[in-house]
Structure 1
Amino acid sequence: MNLTKAQAEKLVKGCINNDRTAQEALYKLFHGEMLRVCYTYLSAEALAKEAFNTGFLKVFQSINNFDAEKGELGGWIRKIMIYTAIDLCRKELKFNNLISPVQDDDDQFIAPHILDKLYFEDILQHIRTLPAATQTVFNLSVMDGFSHKEIGEQLNISEGTSRWHLAEAKRQLREWLQPAGQSANQPKERSGKQQ
């Protein structure tokens, strides 16, 4: 959401003063976007809604800590939602710290010609089929740009385990996206008419 500094300041001040109108306006303004953030980390509807509600409670409880000089309001709320979803993941999941680390030098793990034919919903649906721990690490790394060190700190796992989960997510998604017998870097040859 693109709020002007004055609009954000007015909403924040209203929320600090427990103004129900300001709280409702803030909630409605960020509801859809922040619920999507929670669904990105938690595919189970009940867990995603729980993270969303807990996240907004944290937003309202700590709104006086928001500093407009350090960033925009939407980014601050998004960060709270991500950390709340991660906390819930931690409660729901058991991560295996014994998995051996892997090197992940594969920045472009899916060929662009394949991505051009996909919709976000299709990709998200397949991300949600990943094991929960692998899905969480993938989301933190690819969707939200966290480093393996940050992921390890948030999820209480080693950097090597984080790297393994990311590599495994990429492998599984690549398998789903690549037609059988086709190389990731080779476009599929078309038979018949050229389009």
Structure 2
Amino acid sequence: MDLPKKQAEKLVKGCVDNDRTAQETLYKLFHADMLRVCYNYLPDKELAKEAFNAGFLKVFVSLKNFDLTKGELGGWIRKIMIYTSIDLCRKELKFNTNNTTEIREDDHFITPSVLEKLQFEDILQNIRTLPLATQTVFNLSVLDGFTHKEIGEQLNISEGTSRWHLAEAKRKLRSLLEPTAEQNNQPKERSEKTK
């Protein structure tokens, strides 16, 4: 959520000055979007709420250091929520670092015709079926635009491991979202012979 600069300045100043009305306004403005961010990384709703609350505490404590000239308030809060969620789930993550599967750059993800038929909730439900480590790398890369280097730094894994998890996520999601794709690529036999 992008706030006009004047409104953001007023909110930040009010929160730094410990104005409860400004704090409540900031919380309400970003509540739904930031809870959704936490839920993207933590499939357990209670853990997502815990990350959300811890993240907002960090926001209020760190708000005095936020510089409106260097970034947008909503983006700054979102990053705090992402990092807080990652910190909370990091101990649950199990990364496979001995990957021998080849990653092909020309490997397509999901065809547009399948995506057109799906709703966001359908896609999110399928993402939730991935192992937590693979899901986290997928979310960081695809949903939040992190590079493999940034993902590696955040999760204490190599860039190669990050790439493997992303490729694995795409492979698994493709098989879930396009279960008949392989059947459609096979040549069809004629049921009747032409005369």
Q: Structure 1-normalised TM-score?
A: 0.89
Identity of aligned residues (%): 74
Kept after mapping to 1: 8 A contact 2:2/2:73: no
DSSP-derived class of the 1:51 partner: helix
Mapped pair 1:169 → 2:161: no
Kept after mapping to 2: 8 A contact 1:16/1:63: yes
Please list, as runs of the form range in 1=range in 2, the aligned pairs for 1:35-54 lying within 5 A after superposition.
35-54=35-54
DSSP-derived class of the 1:129 partner: coil
Kept after mapping to 2: 8 A contact 1:102/1:160: no
Alignment CA distance shift 1:164-1:49 (3 Å): same
Partner of 2:139: 139
Q: Which has the larger radius of gyration?
A: 2
Alpha-carbon offset, residue 3 of structure 1: 1.3
- Please give the alpha-carbon distance, in whole angstroms, between the structure 2 residues aligned to 1:156 and 1:49: 24
Kept after mapping to 2: 8 A contact 1:102/1:163: no
Partner of 2:151: 151
Mapped pair 1:116 → 2:103: no
Partner of 2:14: 14
Alpha-carbon offset, residue 2 of structure 1: 2.8
Alignment CA distance shift 1:184-1:116 (3 Å): farther
Aligned pair count reads 186
DSSP-derived class of the 1:3 partner: coil
Alignment CA distance shift 1:156-1:185 (3 Å): farther
Alpha-carbon offset, residue 105 of structure 1: 1.1
Please list, as runs of the form range in 1=range in 2, the aligned pairs for 1:70-81 lying within 5 A after superposition.
70-81=70-81
Note the residue ranges of structure 1 that are not aligned, 5 or more in a row: 187-195
Alignment CA distance shift 1:123-1:184 (3 Å): farther
- Please give the alpha-carbon distance, in whole angstroms, between the structure 1 residues aligned to 2:18 and 2:106: 49
Partner of 1:95: 95
Partner of 1:3: 3
Partner of 1:193: none
Alpha-carbon offset, residue 96 of structure 1: 3.1
Kept after mapping to 1: 8 A contact 2:114/2:177: yes
Kept after mapping to 2: 8 A contact 1:51/1:81: yes
- Please give the alpha-carbon distance, in whole angstroms, between the structure 1 residues aligned to 2:31 and 2:176: 32
Alpha-carbon offset, residue 102 of structure 1: 4.0
DSSP-derived class of the 1:74 partner: helix
- Please give the alpha-carbon distance, in whole angstroms, between the structure 2 residues aligned to 1:117 and 1:171: 19
Alpha-carbon offset, residue 70 of structure 1: 1.2
Alignment CA distance shift 1:67-1:121 (3 Å): same
For residue 149 of structure 2, what is the amino acid of its counterpart? K
Kept after mapping to 2: 8 A contact 1:42/1:48: yes
- Please give the alpha-carbon distance, in whole angstroms, between the structure 2 residues aligned to 1:159 and 1:101: 15
DSSP-derived class of the 2:33 partner: helix
For residue 92 of structure 1, what is the amino acid of its counterpart? E
- Please give the alpha-carbon distance, in whole angstroms, between the structure 1 residues aligned to 2:89 and 2:104: 24
- Please give the alpha-carbon distance, in whole angstroms, between the structure 1 residues aligned to 2:110 and 2:155: 26
Alpha-carbon offset, residue 182 of structure 1: 3.6
